[in-house]
Amino acid sequence: MESRITFENVREAIEKLPMLSPNVSRLLQIMADEDYELDDVVNIVKYDAALTAKVLKAVNSPVFGLLNPVTSLDRAISYLGKWIVVSIILSDSTGDLFSRPLAGYEGQQNALWRHDLFAAFSSSEVARYAKQSFEKELAFTAGLLHDIGKYVFAPFWKQASGEALGRIEEGSVADYLAAERVLAGLDHAQVGYEMARYWEFPEPLQQAILYHHTPEQAPERFRALAYAAHLGDMCAMMAGCDTGNDGMQYQLDNGYIEYFELTSESLAQILLETEIQFKQAISSLSLEEEVDK
């Protein structure tokens, strides 16, 4: 059953979303600048008492097993890594935006957040294998945000999603993204791009979100970043950390070989490293407790 939507429908839904806090907007702008320093991140967090408390709670959680408690924000951010701090700030700003069940994808509570977090760590690990200079933290942020469009798209998609897998199986569409376009008129990547524009994300992040399934179509200066997000997304699905019924229903774009030196061995290493970082992160962010509720 087709359920066509328009950009007008999408924009109306997006305009009902809360605006991101100034802290998140500033942090995303900083992370898009390859010359940023740790102090730039510290200066955003230190003037927000709630965020400072969350960062210190995370670093002192049992998962890290520190012998002595960390009371310095600088040390906490240095220990956690900027990527986990980004996750804390983003989750604080968006509330339950990424944790709600995705009805259109049959995704459970926190499925989107966990998928995006795994993809973020994978994208940053992929960045280590770039053939040219590449900003690892920007890759993390692109991976973290690549699927934001699913939050707004899912309610529109609920009626048509039942047909998607059937269309793929019969070969009338190439993959899940194509099914979204055929059955709904838009896909979640396009919706995510509109959200990124509304929230005034830096252009590299807007482009990575738009092209995370079709990185070969990204403008050349953003293509490596789009491929990093693409590969991070695929790694998350390979690890079984997906958002629902679209898991492993997308095509891998092999054009990544132009930008990254990846082999089957390095891919296995990426998955191993990501799994370790992911488990540490969800523990420090208390996501395990939320999933079990």
List, as one string, the DSSP characters of 212-260.
SS-GGGS-HHHHHHHHHHHHHHHHHHHTT--SSTTTT-S---GGGGGTB
The helix/strand/coil state of 132 is coil
Walk me through the domains of the chain, giving residue ranges and CATH numbers.
7-17+97-292 (1.10.3210.10)
Strand partners, 130: 260
Strand partners, 102: 107
How would residue 286 be classed by pLDDT, with cut points 50, 70 and 90?
A: low
What pLDDT does 191 receive? 96
pLDDT of 271 higher than 90: yes
How would residue 38 be classed by pLDDT, with cut points 50, 70 and 90?
A: confident
Mean pLDDT estimate for the chain: 87
What pLDDT does 289 receive? 44
Per-residue pLDDT of 211-268, as tens digits, reads 999 999 999 999 999 999 999 999 999 999 999 999 999 999 999 999 999 999 999 9
Take residue 73 and report the two structure tokens written for it.
Answer: 């924000």
Tell me the residue type at 39: D
What pLDDT does 1 receive? 54
The pTM score is: 0.86
